[in-house]
Amino acid sequence: MFLRIAAMAALGIWVYLLLARGRFWRMDVSSAGATRAGSAARVAAVIPARNEAEVIGEAVASLARQQYGGAFHIVVVDDASEDQTPEAARAAAPPERVTIIRGAPLPSGWTGKLWAVFQGIAEAKRFQPDYLLLTDADIVHPPGGLEELVAQAESGYDLVSWMVTLRCESFAERALIPAFVFFFFMLYPPAWIRSTRHKTAGAAGGCMLLRYAMLEQIGGIASIRGELIDDCALARAVKQQGGRVWLGLGAGARSIREYGTFAEIGRMISRTAFTQLRYSAALLALTVAGLAITFLFPVMAALRSSGYGIAAWALMGVAYLPVLRYYRRSMFWAPLLPLVAVFYMGATMHSAIEYWRGRGGMWKGRAQSQRR
């Protein structure tokens, strides 16, 4: 009886997700129709970089090749790298296009990335930018990417963000990365983010174009200095100040960061999962229960010939197909989404355990969230 009731609940959840959550699953949000070109807006890109020698050269070179008519400059902040990060960045672009600064020691109360971004923005201010392109050291931008981002912003948005195409080559990436995008859009439906009627705010930190005047209006990057999920915190601050936020797919922009193993992807998820739950054991328990009802019980019920379980599992697969197509994965991955959900559930529980051990938010050798 319990399994039957759980399968009925799961079916209701998937009907809601398909029909009433901003159609997040459709993966058709790559353009909102902005066509304005030839902007003269001044833009400065800020790239925080810590031990990124393997990827930053390609990222900086892609920015140096931008086909953009306005003034554009690149600022790289070397955040105490122990490899050849600054040398790789310097070799990737002409000196007149890129400025490389050495970051100061991390002060208390700041996350490492945001402290680097803060210093980069202070340097970028010399170029009097109208917009800041906040991007990561592993993001390769298409030649017309900046023009498209600025056009989107000038159509009426204060923060424009692309969910870039993530690397999906190793077996672990093929199994887990499409689900990462699927779950992200489930939490932050792009249609709701763009809507002024919804409070939902989100962004993808790998590629964000921010209006400089709005940054000053929210109190600068210092206003979110302790946030581990900094991209969504920034989007929330912008929306709370009455600004407009746009999140969509940036099919031409891609991450070249490699996650070769399941363990590497697990650590990437674990870094912020418990932060998303506000470090609450109660929310963790509810999340685990919700994942079980939504993803696992339908399979268990379907294996016992429950019509409700079969229907819920089928709707789950239907919702997952668009992201599989986007990442050019076989449709036969769709029925395996429950297994992927188990992996994400485990990574979330690991995130909580690491936080309780005083190792929360571990990234590049830094624990960025401590037990309170």
Same domain, 308 and 218: no
Quick check: is 369 in a domain?
no
> Which amino acid makes up residue 314?
A
pLDDT for the residue 251? 78
Q: Are residues 52 and 199 in the same domain?
A: yes
Q: Is position 363 within any domain?
A: no
Q: What is the DSSP string of 43-82?
A: EEEEEEESS-TTTHHHHHHHHHT---SS-EEEEEEE-S-S
Please tell me whether residues 18 and 118 are part of one structural domain. no
| Phi, psi values for residue 356, rounded to 5° | -65, -25
Residue 367 falls within a domain, yes or no? Answer: no
| H/E stretch holding 222 | none
313 inside domain: yes
- Return the pLDDT at 356: 93
Distance of alpha carbon 299 from alpha carbon 313, whole angstroms: 6
| Calpha distance 244→156 (Å, rounded) | 7
Mean pLDDT (the chain, rounded): 93
SS3 84: coil
pLDDT of residue 358: 84
Q: Mean pLDDT of residues grouped by 10 in the chain (372 residues)? A: 90 97 86 58 97 98 96 97 96 96 95 96 97 98 96 96 97 98 97 95 97 98 96 98 96 94 96 93 97 96 94 98 97 97 97 88 58 50
Q: How many CB atoms lie within 10 A of CB 358?
A: 10
Where would I find the beta strands (DSSP E) of the chain? Answer: 43-49, 72-78, 98-102, 131-135, 139-140, 159-165, 207-211, 245-255
What lies within 8 Å, CB to CB, of 30 at 6+ separation is 248, 249, 250, 251
Would you state the pLDDT for residue 31? Answer: 54
CATH of the domain at 93: 3.90.550.10
* Domain finish residue from 255, 282, 304: 255
Tokens of 229: 């999920």
Residue 366 in domain: no
Place of tokens 């790239």: 47
Continuous segment of H or E residues that includes residue 191: helix 190-194
Q: Are residues 237 and 298 in the same domain?
A: no
Please tell me the pTM assigned to this model: 0.94
